Structure 1
């Protein structure tokens, strides 16, 4: 007896080079190497060569380098995942696009709108696929809520809320090393995208921020912010609130909500599962303590979506269809970053700030009415 031949229809995996082998990069590396059938981890680049080499050995990756330019010059690499410090996101995205490599870039796409415009120009010139890591769009509950919005479940959005509370123990020992404006550029940037996404067909117009160092007040004079609330006005009249804190004792807490003329949808919860224990000590539940716990599947699904888009371009096949707009690109990166920059302006001035690129405040879409 002999085995029968089998014709495999499985396409070649997308060969990805990882740039940045730190906390998030290492998680992406393991996902690409072990959990995403449509992709394979082909190379790792990081100036910290020792941990990069260790990670490559662990995952069976044969190519490791201290210089990302080696990935751009490698014809065997189809795409790159950029997971290094945010100050390098723009130059790496531009270099990758000019080398004809598709790009998945962790948030934010850049630190300024001017840098983002340079990325847009490079991507337009070469036509590569560029995607940003707004992972909440891929979380099952957020995606279900967005589909409800598309189906008209809430009617016209009127009030929105998004929050991020990072786990902590009541202090932030590394506060002195946190770059200024991290609150808006790296934390609330997720909430800004979630609010934009959950209020489709509207643009953020203005924002007013209250921010402080309530966890580590001794660092306030140095410009450190660990607590913030931003109130955002949208072009359809909706009002949104984004809030964040860097030290939630009970765990990692991410939630979103859209209330409208016909109802409400919510996403996220503070507990790890719906399971609760009821004992003489009261009611308790497990809570997630890490981003890679709460959003493990979402992180993998966004990379799987990225690989599918790259493969579709390579093979001339249809791009993934999620039923609603999901895959975040440069326009989404710009809208979220414009909000982040407006928040910084609001903190500096103590007043509301306009959002770059938006319609004049008070302009409503849909019915065409004007608030004032």
Structure 2
């Protein structure tokens, strides 16, 4: 679909306003300011003024505010990059859309399907592009796995796996009281749910069963923090997927995916910083990545570059390294799995996705003509 209501001149850089100057917002700001062509970081807003001032000074941005509305309503801002806490995502998407701004939003798109739907409705009415930050789609190894799936290398997916193990320390989780309940599903495993959906094109999740506990920081369980989870997802094409997460991988930041099917298997990811390893009398040793912005440095950059290209061309179907822009349907499908997992973990029983939302595939089922079962 081509969007013409809020055109951006192709001979003018896309001017982006950032909302959220925290960890990932700061990294995105650096990408916009230093790593992506044809884009200008126009303004930054965050309620914490010192954070805004420090980031703006480092990147040479003159417009700063503690009020997101100042960025959204700035006539020089073409698009808004939302990196605020998750509880504000939907309302910021809706506000930006009503102001005629294109939106790149970090995951999740909302904390309920209803609030996400309201934001997507506002974007549809205003005819603006909305892209969500599912960065694994832009990682070279995951993108290669998807290409192999598209060419029929695995046939019909039957068993799938995705995992996220966040790096930790001997001290365990720092400041667990600052982590909102449901984080492991809504902000960590949401990546795994999107990855599984994306690696199973044409199918939708239909049933979810989750088990979760506080094994890293048991003392935080009373406050609602769960730090370890395993989620089983059954898909409309019969595939069975497992997603797992833990907040304390002492050996590094570990993200992996696997799809096994009727014709073969593909894998992607891992914690190794590079393929080199030493073999000595003490054993085999390989350096590992410790930060998300290191493991997915190029993927974070590529997803924003895709967004800028889409805004410049005024198309939400512009193909990039991950195929189409991860949009509203993708965000909605991943959120529905996360909410079902939360409910299942609370009740101890499987949850039908239809009790959360009616879903539709984000893309057509691949043509597997010639597959040998």
TM-score in terms of structure 2 length? 0.91
1:323–1:105 CA distance, 2 compared to 1 (3 A): closer
Report the CA distance between 1:318 and its aligned residue. Answer: 9.6
Within 2, Cα distance between the matches of 1:22 and 1:324?
26
Partner of 1:123: 123
Matches within 5 A, 1:1-372: 11-170=11-170, 171-313=172-314, 320-322=318-320, 325-355=323-353, 356-358=356-358
Within 2, Cα distance between the matches of 1:91 and 1:12?
29
Deviates more, 1:349-358 or 1:147-156: 349-358
Secondary structure of 1:247 counterpart: strand
Higher RCO (CA < 8 A, seq sep 6+): 2
Off by >4 Å, runs of 4+ in structure 1: none
1:322–1:32 CA distance, 2 compared to 1 (3 A): closer
Q: Is 2:160–2:258's contact at 8 Å kept on the other side of the alignment?
A: yes
Report the CA distance between 1:69 and its aligned residue. Answer: 0.9
Q: Which has the larger radius of gyration?
A: 1
Report the CA distance between 1:278 and its aligned residue. Answer: 1.2
Secondary structure of 1:11 counterpart: coil
Q: Is 1:308–1:319's contact at 8 Å kept on the other side of the alignment?
A: no
Report the CA distance between 1:319 and its aligned residue. Answer: 5.8
**1:234-255 superposed Cα distances (whole Å, 9 cap, x missing partner):** 0100000000000001000000
Report the CA distance between 1:73 and its aligned residue. Answer: 1.6
**1:56-99 superposed Cα distances (whole Å, 9 cap, x missing partner):** 11111121111111112211110010001111111111100000
Structure 2 gaps of 5+ residues are: 1-9, 368-373
Within 2, Cα distance between the matches of 1:67 and 1:244?
34
**1:16-45 superposed Cα distances (whole Å, 9 cap, x missing partner):** 000011111100111100000021111111
1:366–1:194 CA distance, 2 compared to 1 (3 A): closer
Q: Is 2:132–2:331's contact at 8 Å kept on the other side of the alignment?
A: yes
TM-score in terms of structure 1 length? 0.91
Secondary structure of 2:234 counterpart: strand
Cα root mean square deviation, aligned:
1.9
Report the count of equivalent residues.
Answer: 352
Report the CA distance between 1:175 and its aligned residue. Answer: 1.4
Partner of 1:370: none
Within 2, Cα distance between the matches of 1:358 and 1:151?
29
